[in-house]
C-alpha cells in the first residue's frame, strides 16, 4: 500500500509497407559515455528493482509492478487489455476502419524517451534505437504498423498533462501530418515522462512520486482527448539515475518514478473493481480512457544485476550521467522490442501475421 498521508520509408508496389518514423528531437547533450567512477557509486541503500522487491520500500510501499507484488497484470485487468487490443485495426485518416489504413504506435515523453525510441539527429532514426531494431526484426508487422516518435527533448510531464499543450500540436504538425497521418489513427502510446529537478522524495506527502502520479493521470486523460481511438497506454519509468552529476533527475527520484507508474496502473485496476476514483490519479474509467499497463520496467541498481540480469553501467550513460549513451540506447531499445513482442496485449498487433481476436 502507498500510505499517502529521419523519416524512413520503404515502398512496395507503390504502397507504404515499412514502419515510418519522425523524431521530434531531444535536448542537446554530450553522447560520450560517463567514465567509471563518475557520479555517485552505489545507489542509496534500500533501492531494489520493483521486479525484485519482495517486501516493501521504506516499510510502506509494496514491490512488484502490479498489485499484490506481482509482475504481470491480474486476470481481470489483462482481460480488459485484451478487449482493447482486439479493437486495434488499420484506420483511415478519419479514424474509420480501412484495410489500407494504418495502426499508429506513438511515443510520448521527454528527451530520454526520444533518444531511446528513435534518436535525435536528423529525421532518420538512429542505429540501435527501438525503432531501428524493430525495422530490422522480421517478426514486426510491415504492412499495417506505423511507429512515430512524438517524444520531445526538454518536455517534462507538466507539458503533456493538458490536451491543449503545444507539445501535442507539434506531434500533429511535425510528426503525423508530414506522413499523411492523423491523430485519429493513433491507437497505442508508449509513455515515459518525468519531472525536472525533483527535490522531495518518499515518504514525504509532497514527494515527487505523488506529483508525478497526478501528472500521469492527467496525461492519460489528455491522450484520450487528443487521440479518440487510443486503446492502450504502455508506461515506463526511468532508468537508473545513480551516475547523474546534475540535479536533473538523480536518485532516489529516478527509482521512485517507478512507484508513480505502478500506482497509476493500480488506480485504474481498483476503479474498475468499484473502489472509486483515486484522489491522485483521477478518473481512469475504461469507458473514458485507454487501458494502462507497464511498458518495460527499465530501472536496475546500476552495475548490480537484477534477477533477469539487467545492469546499467557507466558506459550506458552520457557524460551527464542521466541521458543514455549509445550502449544504453541499444539496451533500452532491446527491452522495448522484447516487451512489445511478448506482451499479450501488444504482440497480436505488433508482430506480423497475428490477430488479437
Domain ranges in the chain? Answer: 11-350
Which pLDDT belongs to residue 37?
A: 44
> Do 145 and 137 contact (CB within 8 A), yes or no?
no
Which pLDDT belongs to residue 271?
A: 98
Which pLDDT belongs to residue 44?
A: 61
Which pLDDT belongs to residue 123?
A: 47
| pLDDT, tens digit, 9 for 90 and up, residues 193-219 | 999 999 999 999 999 999 999 999 999
| Distance, C-alpha 32 to centroid of its chain | 24
Which pLDDT belongs to residue 22?
A: 57
Cβ-in-10-Å burial (0-12, 13-18, 19+) of 186 comes to: buried
Which pLDDT belongs to residue 122?
A: 36
> Do 312 and 240 contact (CB within 8 A), yes or no?
yes
Show the low-confidence residues of the chain (pLDDT under 70): 1-45, 120-124
User: Any idea which fold 11-350 has?
Assistant: Rossmann fold (3.40.50)
| pLDDT, tens digit, 9 for 90 and up, residues 108-125 | 999 999 999 998 533 468
Which pLDDT belongs to residue 5?
A: 36
Which pLDDT belongs to residue 124?
A: 63
Which pLDDT belongs to residue 125?
A: 84
Which grid cell is 172? 500533429
| pLDDT, tens digit, 9 for 90 and up, residues 139-166 | 999 999 999 999 999 999 999 999 999 9
Which pLDDT belongs to residue 65?
A: 98
- Short-list 8, 19, 25, CA closest to 174: 25
For residue 209, give the H/E element and its range: helix 208-226
> Do 117 and 105 contact (CB within 8 A), yes or no?
no
Beta-carbon contacts of 258 under 8 Å, excluding residues fewer than 6 positions away, are 50, 237, 238, 297, 299
Amino acid at each position: 500500500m502507498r500510505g499517502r498521508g529521419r523519416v524512413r520509408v520503404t515502398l512496395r508496389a507503390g504502397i507504404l509497407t515499412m514502419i515510418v518514423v519522425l523524431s521530434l528531437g531531444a535536448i542537446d547533450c554530450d553522447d560520450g559515455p560517463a567514465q567509471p567512477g563518475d557520479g555517485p557509486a552505489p545507489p542509496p541503500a534500500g533501492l531494489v528493482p520493483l521486479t525484485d522487491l519482495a517486501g516493501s520500500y521504506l516499510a510502506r510501499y509494496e514491490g512488484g509492478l502490479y498489485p499484490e507484488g506481482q509482475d504481470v497484470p491480474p486476470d481481470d485487468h489483462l482481460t480488459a487489455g485484451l478487449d482493447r487490443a482486439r479493437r486495434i485495426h488499420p484506420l483511415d485518416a478519419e479514424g474509420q476502419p480501412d484495410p489500407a489504413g494504418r495502426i499508429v504506435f506513438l511515443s510520448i515523453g521527454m528527451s530520454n524517451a526520444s533518444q531511446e525510441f528513435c534518436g535525435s539527429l536528423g529525421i532518420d532514426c538512429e542505429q540501435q534505437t527501438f525503432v531501428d531494431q524493430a525495422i530490422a526484426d522480421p517478426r514486426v508487422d510491415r504492412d499495417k504498423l506505423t511507429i512515430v516518435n512524438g517524444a520531445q527533448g526538454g518536455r517534462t510531464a507538466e507539458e503533456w498533462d493538458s490536451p491543449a499543450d503545444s507539445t501535442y500540436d507539434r506531434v500533429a504538425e511535425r510528426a503525423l501530418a508530414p506522413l499523411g497521418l492523423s491523430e485519429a489513427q493513433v491507437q497505442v502510446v508508449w509513455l515515459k515522462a518525468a519531472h525536472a529537478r525533483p527535490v522531495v522524495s518518499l515518504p514525504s506527502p509532497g514527494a515527487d512520486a505523488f506529483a508525478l502520479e497526478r501528472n500521469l493521470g492527467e496525461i492519460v486523460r489528455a491522450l484520450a482527448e487528443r487521440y479518440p481511438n487510443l486503446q492502450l497506454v504502455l508506461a515506463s519509468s526511468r532508468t537508473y539515475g545513480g551516475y547523474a552529476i546534475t540535479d536533473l533527475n538523480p536518485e532516489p527520484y529516478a527509482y521512485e518514478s517507478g512507484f508513480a507508474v505502478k500506482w497509476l496502473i493500480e488506480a485504474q485496476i481498483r476503479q474498475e473493481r468499484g473502489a472509486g476514483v483515486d484522489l491522485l490519479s483521477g478518473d481512469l474509467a475504461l469507458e473514458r480512457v485507454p487501458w494502462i499497463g507497464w511498458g518495460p520496467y527499465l530501472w536496475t541498481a546500476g552495475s548490480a544485476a537484477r534477477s533477469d540480469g539487467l545492469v546499467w553501467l557507466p558506459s550506458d550513460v552520457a557524460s551527464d550521467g542521466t541521458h543514455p549513451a549509445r550502449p544504453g540506447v541499444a539496451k533500452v531499445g532491446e527491452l522495448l522490442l522484447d516487451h512489445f513482442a511478448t506482451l499479450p496485449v501488444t504482440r497480436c498487433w505488433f508482430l506480423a501475421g497475428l490477430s488479437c481476436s
